[in-house]
Amino acid sequence: MASGKKYKFLVTSGGTREKIDEARFIGNSSTGELGSLVCRALADKADCEKIFYVCGIGATMPDTNKAEVWPVSDTDSVMEAVKNILLKNEIDGIIHTMAVSDYRVKSVKTGGGVELDRRKKITSGENELILTLEATPKIISFFSSLAPRAVLAGFKLLCGVTKETLIDTAYDILQKNNCAFVIANDKRFITKTGHRAYLLDKGKNITEYRTKKEIAGGIADKMYSLLNGKRP
């Protein structure tokens, strides 16, 4: 049964691209499919009023008219978008599925050590280029200060680790960023037909899922359960 309260959500989805020069970039393989399914699962609930969908270039679009799409490209544009949304709207839940780049290009040099101008297309005549990378800001670390009342769901992706290591790392992310729950994934178990993941909450309760649709539904159910529990 729907209540009188309507909720607004922020969902980040897809991947980011960090410029090498004006024609090239480094990025990742995230498609945004899971983020789009999360949007649909949230929107299917009668209590959903609106979803702000912050998505990378080429990310899968959500199949719901409750979503307002905010396209972004690099980490800086993600930060700008989430700040604009969170400072101007009362957001009830945040689901940070986006694969934000951990590093961005600081400089590009020739093999001989000459720094090149990244404001234009670097010539393809060089036999060797050296890229220096620097760490990007962790977007998830800003959510609790920008929207302290929002229920935050984070994601952690590792590859080739034990389940114990994956869960421990995800729980560390949960504690450091004041998440209500975290979805933990191992890239080995993400395929075209399946997606094994674990939902881990503050009480260290673990729920396992085997498909993206199951994960999206589990996130929506957990989010609404926590929001409804906050009602007086």
Give the Cα separation of 95 and 195 in Å (integer).
18
**Domain 7-101+139-229: top CATH class:** alpha beta
Give the Cα separation of 94 and 144 in Å (integer).
10
Cα maximum dimension of the chain: 68
Tokens 């989805």 belong to residue: 13
Residue ranges per structural domain of the chain: 7-101+139-229
- Two structure tokens written together for 96: 């940070």
How much is the average pLDDT of 144-155? Answer: 97
Residue 2's pLDDT is 47
State the pLDDT confidence band at 229, using cuts at 50, 70 and 90.
confident
Residue 126's pLDDT is 86
Q: pLDDT (tens digit, 9 = 90+) per residue, 42-98?
A: 999 999 999 999 999 999 999 999 999 999 999 999 999 999 999 999 999 999 999
Q: pLDDT (tens digit, 9 = 90+) per residue, 135-144?
A: 999 999 999 9
Q: pLDDT (tens digit, 9 = 90+) per residue, 96-128?
A: 999 999 999 999 999 999 999 999 999 998 899
DSSP letters, the chain, are ---S--EEEEEEESB--EESSSS-EE------HHHHHHHHHHHTSTTEEEEEEEE-TTPPPPS-TTEEEEE--SHHHHHHHHHHHHHHS--SEEEE--B--SEEEEEEEETTSPBP-TTSPPPTT-S-EEEEEEEPP-GGGGHHHH-TTSEEEEEEEESS--HHHHHHHHHHHHHHHT-SEEEEEEEEEE-SS-EEEEEEETT--EEEESSHHHHHHHHHHHHHHHHHHT--
- Two structure tokens written together for 189: 């178990």
CB 199 within 8 Å of CB 219: yes
Apex 177 CA angle, 185 and 69, nearest 5: 70
| Alpha carbon of residue 189 to chain centroid | 18
* Residues in the chain, total: 232
Confidence check: pLDDT of 203 > 70: yes
| pTM given for the model | 0.93
